[in-house]
Amino acid sequence: MVSHCRCLLYHQPSSESQPVVYESTTTRLPSLKGEIWSLATHPLFQTTLAQSRTSGENRSKTIVIADINQDLGLQFYPDLKAQLTHWQIRDCLLVPISYQDTWLGMLEIHQPEVYIWSEDDLILVEAIATQAGVALMQAQAYTNLEILNRQLVNLERTQSNLIAIIIIELPHHLPLIQVDGEGLIEVLTKLLDNACKFTDESGQVTIQASLLNSALGNSQKTSMLKITIADTGRGIEPNQLEAIFERFYQEEEFLQRTVGGTGLGLAICRRIIDGLGGKIWAESLGKDQGSKFYFTIPVLVPIA
């Protein structure tokens, strides 16, 4: 692969244009860093990339333009061709970055002259894109964890003068999880909010986490993270433990008058957790016996 090229890496294009942040280029080519740029959003490439996101074949993901002066598709888009010419792009390669069928971003390589991409070149670039996908997913998981930690701190601060003591019991090394960060925060917030509402100042709310492993067919393993939120509050009658997850359930009408609520909280939690590929359930011995709420979410990489 020739050394006189420009390499761009950017997150999945959205409705809001974002400037280029990650770039490696030679002094022979002008820098695109800070410019609004995304070939992936252009109509010429959108159809192919949309098909690649639903395809299991890696090679179908790669788009190669060996020479912008000879490419038939570009002849119908003179503005795009002019843009490529302005930035000294004669040849370009586009490889979507994905992780487990989730499209995360795009890797682009620009050449200032015609270059014939060999089979080995394409395999190497696609391998780099695969590793970039893992790195982007880990970075997103870390970001979600940081947001979650801030949300938990804020929740504890805002309710510290209203509720029982919150005890957090977590292992030192938790695995990365592959979930929607906002959805997870919403579930934790609703469950903690309920636990705090129904536990007086002399009680206790505990948050715990543990790893669950289970075997699938063909010797495959799956790992789930189990979160437990337990309280010493008013409890739930055992025959109501499933009904509380139904929409508009009002088992505790007298509590609704004292602490407020719409009856939608736990139903929303179940919908979110189901969407994340996990399960949610509750345990209680009855009135004034406290409650335990559990939910599971998949970890990023199954633990052996």
Is the per-residue pLDDT at 170 higher than 80? no
pTM metric for this prediction: 0.47
Shared domain for 294 and 169, answered yes or no, is yes
Number of structural domains in the chain: 2
Decide: 244 and 270 in contact? Cβ < 8 Å. no
Q: Distance between CA atoms of 64 and 39, rounded to whole angstroms?
A: 12
Report how far residue 151's alpha carbon sits from residue 149's, in angstroms, rounded to the nearest whole number.
5
Determine the pLDDT at residue 215: 54
pLDDT score, position 88: 92
More confident residue, 142 or 258: 142
Residue 152 lies in a domain: no
Q: Which domain holds residue 246?
A: 162-298
**Which pLDDT score is estimated for 304?**
52
State phi, psi for 25 to the nearest 5 degrees. Answer: -145, 160
Question: Residue 296: enclosing H or E segment and its boundaries?
Answer: strand 291-298
Higher pLDDT, 257 or 103: 103
3-class secondary structure per residue, 31-94:
CCCCCECCHHHCHHHHHHHHHHHCCCCCHHHCEEECCCCCCCHHHHCHHHHHHHHHCCCCEEEE
Q: What are the structure tokens assigned to 126, written together?
A: 């696609």
CATH number at residue 219: 3.30.565.10
Question: Distance between CA 141 and CA 124 in Å, rounded?
Answer: 26
Q: Are residues 130 and 44 in the same domain?
A: yes
110 and 211 in a single domain? The answer is: no
Give the type of residue at 47.
Answer: T
pLDDT band of residue 295 (cuts 50, 70, 90) is very high
Whole-angstrom distance, CA of residue 141 vs CA of residue 158: 26
With pLDDT > 70 as the criterion, what percentage of the chain qualifies? 72
Domain boundary among 103, 138, 173: 138
Q: Tell me, yes or no, whether 233 and 118 share the same domain.
A: no
Q: CATH number of the domain at 33, please.
A: 3.30.450.40
Lowest mean pLDDT of 42-46, 98-102, 222-226, 290-294, name the range: 98-102
155 domain residue, yes or no: no
Query: What confidence tens digit (pLDDT) does each residue in 5-49 have?
Result: 888 887 765 545 667 778 888 888 898 888 888 787 787 777 666
pLDDT at residue number 133: 79
Rounded Cα gap, residues 250 and 252, in angstroms: 5
Residues above pLDDT 90, as percent of the chain: 13
pLDDT band for 248, please (50, 70, 90 cuts).
low
Q: What is the pLDDT of the chain when averaged over all its residues? A: 77
Q: Is residue 220 part of a domain?
A: yes
Q: Are residues 134 and 227 in the same domain?
A: no
Domain shared by 167 and 291, yes or no: yes
Give yes or no: residues 11 and 106 share one domain: yes
Determine, yes or no, domain membership for 149: no
Q: Say if residue 93 is in the same domain as residue 176.
A: no
Q: Are residues 207 and 174 in the same domain?
A: yes
Residue 178 pLDDT greater than 90, yes or no: no
Residue 199 included in any domain: yes
Residue 13 DSSP label: P
- 276 in any annotated domain: yes
Q: Residue 206's Cα: distance from chain center in Å?
A: 26
When comparing pLDDT for 8 and 220, which is higher? Answer: 8
Residue predicted with more confidence, 91 or 12: 91
Are 131 and 167 within one domain? no
- Tell me: do 236 and 271 sit in the same domain: yes
Domain annotation covers residue 242 = yes
Q: Is residue 128 part of a domain?
A: yes
- Distance, CA of 196 to CA of 179 (rounded, Å): 25
Task: Provide the pLDDT confidence category of residue 90 given band limits of 50, 70 and 90.
Answer: very high
> Do 122 and 169 share a structural domain?
no
Confidence class of residue 149 from pLDDT cuts 50, 70 and 90?
low
Query: What CA–CA distance (Å, rounded) separates 55 from 265?
Result: 37
